[in-house]
Amino acid sequence: MPANPPIDVQAYGQSIWYDNISRRLLANGELRAMIEHDGVMGVTSNPSIFQKAIGESDDYDEPMMHLLELEPYDIYEKLAVEDIQQALDLFLPVYKRTNGRDGYVSLEVSPLIANDTATTIAEAKRLFETVNRPNTMIKIPATEAGIPAIEESIAAGINVNVTLIFAVQNYVQVAEAFIRGLERRLEAGEDISKVASVASFFLSRIDVIVDRMLENNIRAAQGRDLDRVIINRKLLGKAAISNAKIAYKRFNEMFHGERFEKLLAAGAQVQRPLWASTGTKNPAYADTMYVDSLIGADTVNTVPPATLQAFKDHGTAANTLIENIDEAEDILDLLAEVGIDLDQITRQLQVDGVEAFVDAFENLINQVDAKRNVLHTGIIRQQEFILGIYADAVKEELADLDKNFVNTRIWEHDGSVWKNHNIIMNQIRNRLGWLDVFTTIDRERLKALQAGAGQWSHVVLIGMGGSSLAPEVFSRTFGLQPGFPHLYVLDNTSPTSIKAIEQSIVLDKTLFIVSSKSGSTTETLSFFQYFYELTGKNGAQFIAITDPSSSLERLAREKSFSDIFLNPEDIGGRYSALSYFGMVPAALIGLDLDKLWKQAERMAMACGANVKGEFHPGMTLGVTMGVLANEGRDKISVFCSPSINSFSSWIEQLLAESTGKDGRGLIPVVGATVGNPHDYVTDRLFIYVRVDGDENGELDQGMMALQQAGQPCITLKLNDIYDLSGEFFRWEYATAVAGKILNINPFDEPNVTESKANTAGLLDYYRENGALPFVEQALTEHDVKMYADEKTLRLLSELSLQHHYSGSDLISMLAAQINATRAGDYFSLLAYLPDTEEIESTLNHIRRRLRHTTHRAVTIGYGPRYLHSTGQLHKGGGDNGIFFVVTAREESDIAIPGQPFSFADLQMAQAMGDFEALQVHGRRALRLHLGGNVIAGLQKILNAIDAVDERRH
C-alpha cells in the first residue's frame, strides 16, 4: 500500500489537523476529501484565516446579503459560526470514532479581549453555547489574563485550544491550568471524560527571530573568531524544534505522573501538545521540517494548505519527537552561550502574536464592514467587465495594490501613492480634498440658496473646464425643474454663442455664477466684465465660486456680489463636481440635493478605505483603464445612455487632463456612435454607462457586437439619473488610480499653461499694435487658408505627390495628413467655431467618415473649452495625435469692456496660441481658417476623406 504520511503518522499517536477554513472548502467538498483521503482529523482557525476567507473572496456575498442590517462583528460571527458548524458536522464521525480525541474545529475568542480574564471567560462560554456542537474547541490565548480563563473554561466543561504558546515555562502554566480545571470539575461531581484540550505551541516564528540574531553574530565574528562562526551556524534552524521537544518532555512529566493518574482514572484525556506555525518561513529549510521532526504520541500537528500538500507528497512518518532530547537541551544551552535569550524572545513573540491577531481581527471586521457597505449599495453587482485576455493582468494589479494598501493610503491622503518626491507628494496631498466633500461642503447652506432660487428665471454659469462641465451635465440631464430657473453654461468665447445666451435670458431676472478656482481665468473674467456692464453693474445679480483668497473673491467683495462660495482649496477643478462648483448650480436649478448626496455617499461607501480592490468600483475601473492603456489600448471609448449623454464630456476632461502627461495618457473618445466592430482596431477599451429605462436598444446591440468581436468592454449600470452623483465620485477615484498605474501625477496640468501663456503674449501684442500678428499661411484655396510649419508642409507635399490624390492641392495635402497615420494614432478636430446644431452635425459626420476610413479614434473639441480639458493631453500625452485646428472669423463680434480686443480676437488668439504650442511639441498639426461659409469650409475635410477612400479602393 503506498505511503500516505498524513495518515501514517496516526500509527505513532499523532493527528494531523488543518490550519484553514473557508466556505469554499466546505462547499466544493475539498474538506470532506481531506478527511476521507488525507487523514485530516480536525481544523484550527484564527482571525487571519477568516480575514482572508471573508474579506478577500465573494464566497460570502450571498449569505451576507441577508445580514446587511447587522453590525460588522455580528455579521462576522454569524458567518464564522455557520462555517464552524458545517465543519463540525463533517468531523462528527471522526469525533465519535476516536471517542472525543479528534474531530474538533476551533473558533477563537476575540483577540481584543486577550488581556481581560472575565470577558474572555464569558465569551468562551457564549461561543461554546452558540456553536452548540460537542466537538467545538474555543481558542484562548496563553496570556497572563488567559491562564485563569483557561482553567475556568475547562472547569465549565468547555473544550479549549490554548493558543500563542512560545515558551516552555508558559506551556507548563497552561498544562497546570488545564489540570486544575479538571480537578475542580471532578470535585464538583461533573463528568470530565468529554472535556478536551490542546496546547498550541508555535514554531517557525521562533526560528525567524533566532536565526536573524545568529546571522548577526556570524557577520560580527566573520574573519575574527572562526569557532564562534561555526557554533552560530550550527544553531541555525534548531531553536524552535529543540524548544518544542523540551516542551514535550514537560508534557510527559506532567501527564504521566501521580497527580494526573487520578484524573485519568476518572476518564480524563491528556491535554495534547499541538504544533502550530508549521509552515517553513526560510526557503533554505525543508518545507516539511516542522512536521517530520515532531511526530510522536499524544500530539497534534496543525498544518497550513501548502505544508499539508508537501507532507503528503514527500514527508516522512517516523517516531521522531523523542529522538535527541538531550541534544535539544544542549542546543538551548548553546543558544544562551551565544547571547540568545530565548525567554525574552518567546515573551515578545507572544505579545507580538496577540498584536498580530488583534490587527488581523480589526482588519477582518473592517473588511466585513467594507464588504457589507459594498453589498448594501449593490454597485459591484451593477458593473460588468468583459476583458478577455486582459482579465488576469487586471486581477494581478488589483492584488498588488491591495498588497501595498493603496486604497487605504489614498483615503489617508498619502501622496506617495503616486510619487516619492517630497514636494510633489505635498502638492498631491493638497489636491485630494474631493475625498472629503461629504464633510467639507455645507449642505444646509446649499438648501438655503435653493430656497431663494425661485426669484430668478435664468441662471448663467460662466466658467471653463472643471468649473462648467459638471453643471452642464446637471442641466442637460435633469432639464428644467418646475419653479426653478433654467441654467445656461457659457464656456465658449464665440461671439455667436455669447449672443445666443444673451438673447435667451431675461436679463434682470438672471443670476450669473462666476466660477473659477484660480479666479484669474481670462475667459471667465471677460464673460463677467461683459455681463456686469450689461446688468448696469448690478453685483446683486452675481455670485462667485472660487478658492479662498483668490482674485475672484476680492473682486466679488469689491463688486458686492450677492453671495460667495469659497470652495475647499485642496480640490482641483476637474475633481470638483461634488463640491460647490457642481452643487451650487445643482441647488439653483432645483435638483433633489438629499438624493444627490445619498447616491454620492453610496458610491463613496462602496469605495471605502477597507474595500478590497476586486470589490471596489473605483479601483476596478481605474486599474482596468491603466492596465489596458499600458497594453496599447489607450483609447477609452465612452458611451452613455441618452438621458446622460452629456456626462461623457465631463469624463473626457477628467481623463484627458488628469492622465495626459509625461508622454502617455488615456485618450477619451466621447460623443461618437458605437459603429460596427470592423470600424475599430486593437487600441480601444469600450465603457458603457447605462441608465435603466432609457432608450438603450441601439447602444445595447452595439456593445454586444463589440463584446462578441472580442473587444474589452465595461458596462456600468445606473438605476436612474440621480445615480450620476455617484458616478462623479467613481470616475474621480478611478482616474486617480489609473494615474497610479500609468506612473503619472493625475492632479497636475503642467502643459495647460503653455497655451495660456501664448494667448497672453498674443493679446499683449494686440494691445501694442491694435491687431494680432500676421501669420503667413501655407496654402490658400478660395476662402480657406491652411497653416502649417515648413517641415509639415514639405512632408505633406511629398506624400500628396507620391499618392496622386484627386482634388486640389489643399485637399491632397489634407488627404496626405489623413492617410499618414501609424498604429495607435488618433485624430482630433479642434473647432474654434460657434456651437450650433449644423456645425456639430457636420463635425460628427467628419468624425464618422474618418473613423470608418482610417479605423482611428477621432475626438472633437470646441475651443477654447478643450484647452481646459483635452488640451493637456494634446501637448503632454503621447505623440500619437493628428490635430486639425479649425478657425473662422464670425460676422458679428462683441467688445470686451475694458479691453482693446473683442471676443472674436480673444478666440483667435486662443486658437493661434494653442496651435503654436502644438507645433513647439512637434505635434502633427494643421490649422484651417474657414471663410464666410463654415459648412463649405468643413466640406474640404470630407473631400479629403473621399480622396483617401478613392485612392485605397
Residues with active-site annotation: 139
CA distance 328 to 330: 5
703 close to 674: Cβ distance less than 8 angstroms: yes
DSSP per residue, 261-294? HHHHHTTPPP-EEEEE--S---TTS-TTHHHHTT
44 close to 18: Cβ distance less than 8 angstroms: yes
3-state secondary structure 68-115: CCCCHHHHHHHHHHHHHHHHHHHHHHHHHHCCCCCCCEEEECCHHHCC
Cis preceding linkage at 864, omega within 30:
yes
Whose cell is 463636481? That residue is: 577
CA distance 44 to 272: 14
Closest by CA to 571, choosing from 438, 375, 705, 446, is 438
- Rounded to 5 degrees, what are φ and ψ at 120? -60, -45
CA distance 454 to 812: 57
Closest by CA to 671, choosing from 508, 850, 847, is 847
Neighbours of 891 (CB within 10 A): 9
CA distance 272 to 265: 17
Whose cell is 468562551? That residue is: 124
Question: Residue 153 CA to chain centroid, in angstroms?
Answer: 44
Whose cell is 461659409? That residue is: 933
Q: How many Å is the Cα radius of gyration of the chain?
A: 36
CA distance 705 to 683: 17
Query: Residue 448 corresponds to which cell in the numbers above?
Result: 438655503
Whose cell is 465660486? That residue is: 545
Helix 593-606 vs helix 342-377: angle between axes, to the nearest 10 degrees?
140
Bridge partners of 635, per DSSP, are: 667, 684
Longest dimension (CA), the chain: 116
Closest by CA to 847, choosing from 705, 725, 587, 673, is 673
